[in-house]
Amino acid sequence: MKKELLADKQVVAVVCNQWGDTGKGKLVDLLSEWADYIVRGTGGANAGHTIVVNDKKFAFHLIPSGILYDNLGKINVIGRGVAFDPKILIEEIYILEKNGLQVHNLLISHEAPLVLPYHLLFDRYSDRSEKVGTTGRGIGPLYSDYVSRNSLFVNDLLNPEIFKEKLTKYVESKRIILNSMNKEVAEKILSHKHLLNGFFFNKDTIIDFDKVVDLYTKEYSEKLRPFIENTSKVVKQARKNGSKILLEGAQGTLLSIDYGTTKYQTSSDCAIEGLAKGCGLKEKDVDYVFGITKAFFMTRVGNGPFPTELGGKKSEEYCDSSQTKNDEETNYANKLEEMLHSNDEFEKGIAIRMQGNEYGATTGRTRRVGWLDLVALKYAMQINGPNLTLTKVDVLTGLDKIKICTDYTYQGKEIDYAGRSLKTGSTIKEFPRFSEILYNCEPVYEEFPGWTEDITKIKNYGNLPENFKKIISFIEEYTGGSIDVISVGPEREQTIFR
């Protein structure tokens, strides 16, 4: 990590300016070397990152990426804002231990809300009709319980009587929902491996609550007890003591419950304010925000509006129909080059996805692919700040032209929006987060010639192709931001600091 950028910094954060999957993991890995504390504050097992342990790759979800530095005494924290699923964390600790990495310096917030089996059931059950395309990790139903004051917390794992008392009370309202469910569908969901292959299924009440109490307050509690702490206090104290702290974001600002594209969101605020709060700090405590931005394309998994999507609605439907990486490799590997240069944007989108290996880490789903959208980026930067880190820029090498979205043209029925009347043909320069509007936004593009040079070994900004730098200047001018870091490949050394 370039020393100058971090010279006077003590608390830094990595957040995504888009719909997630922007390569935060690589930056977190780089920064974990520098940090004393690595803290997660948002999301839950819906996040996914790859960790390499003794040359083997694992897709982890809950454990902070800095766990690899546990043996160097670095403290990894799961903060109060994380939707905490004990089963997932225990599995991840087990995998690490089996591969020779003992976990000593992990802390779990006693205040983090607990994911329970019925959250997983409700999430999977309702997403069949609501079609948000969630990860099925129970995130939405848990946060709903949190705001309606019906959730349990990590601390309850330590107190079986309180756990049981609370659960018994909260279960009343759950029973009404459980009883209205189609039992066959519920049974199928409950027999999924994430739900212990039917362990929680009970023919009469659907969920067997005694089993939940037993598992959580005995097995889970025993395993996790040594890690449970008041992590907000620990992190605040670490800041006072001058320790270096890295806040590890999850998902992306356009998915945030407070700022994301309505309905098609996750349920925590994964922008900078939510991250800081979920880690036990305040936004003003953060000295520098790495605004991670995939360029010069972007992706989205799950449903929801995506104005610059290559292939538009056709691509959204195609990606929703359970295509996998294998399917695409079988069907298109021999046509990849041709498709990258195709005039058909749907085909070009598939080729970019394959070129960039854009498949979900948590679900394996195909990520939808679109051109970089500066209307959305400007909006995210108003929330997260002006400092950008561009990632995956090498993926578009060889393309004849690069399109960048600068405005939208509204194509829907006339409506009132924030005190103005939106008519068909109106120009939109500010990102409207309401999906019914965004679905009717046609992107307006600025076109740039591409570059053909291999940029993956370039170390200095000055050596990048002129056509590449023209796009960089354009983005900075348009957004008023500063592109401080450019990642030209997956390895640590493939990073340019300006």
**Which residues are known catalytic residues?**
21, 49
411: CB partners within 8 A, 6+ apart: 424, 425, 440, 441, 442
Residue 306 vs 410, nearer CB to ligand IMP: 306
Distance from chain centroid for Cα 478: 26
- CB nearest ligand IMP: which residue? 302
d(CA 459, CA 457): 6
Residue 52 vs 59, nearer CB to ligand IMP: 59
Question: How many amino acids of this chain bind ligand IMP (CB under 6 A)?
Answer: 21
The DSSP H or E segment spanning 272 is: helix 272-279
182: CB partners within 8 A, 6+ apart: none
Q: Which of 14, 15, 38, 301 binds ligand IMP (CB under 6 A)?
A: 301
Q: Is 65 in the site for ligand IMP (CB under 6 A)?
A: no
d(CA 484, CA 388): 6
Window of 43-51, 91-99, 391-399, 484-492 that interacts with ligand IMP by CB under 6 A? 43-51
Residue 255 vs 354, nearer CB to ligand IMP: 255
Q: Which of 18, 65, 134, 391 binds ligand IMP (CB under 6 A)?
A: 134
Q: Does residue 474 contact residue 376 with C-beta atoms inside 8 Å?
A: no
Q: Which of 12, 21, 89, 345 binds ligand IMP (CB under 6 A)?
A: 21
SS3 425: coil
Q: Does residue 125 contact residue 179 with C-beta atoms inside 8 Å?
A: no
Residue 257 vs 399, nearer CB to ligand IMP: 257
487: CB partners within 8 A, 6+ apart: 23, 26, 27, 389, 390, 391, 392, 393, 494, 495, 496
Q: Phi, psi at residue 255, to the nearest 5°?
A: -105, -5
Q: How far is the CB of 262 from ligand IMP (least distance, A)?
A: 12
Q: How far is the CB of 142 from ligand IMP (least distance, A)?
A: 9
Q: How far is the CB of 365 from ligand IMP (least distance, A)?
A: 8
Helices 117-130 and 160-180, packing angle to 10 deg: 30
Q: Which of 133, 249, 274, 307 binds ligand IMP (CB under 6 A)?
A: 133
Using CB under 6 A, which residues numbered 256 to 275 contact ligand IMP? 264, 266-267
Using CB under 6 A, which residues numbered 212 to 251 contact ligand IMP? 250-251
Q: How far is the CB of 141 from ligand IMP (least distance, A)?
A: 9
Q: Is 137 in the site for ligand IMP (CB under 6 A)?
A: yes
The site for ligand IMP (CB under 6 A) is made up of 19-21, 46-48, 132-135, 137, 139-140, 250-251, 255, 264, 266-267, 301-302
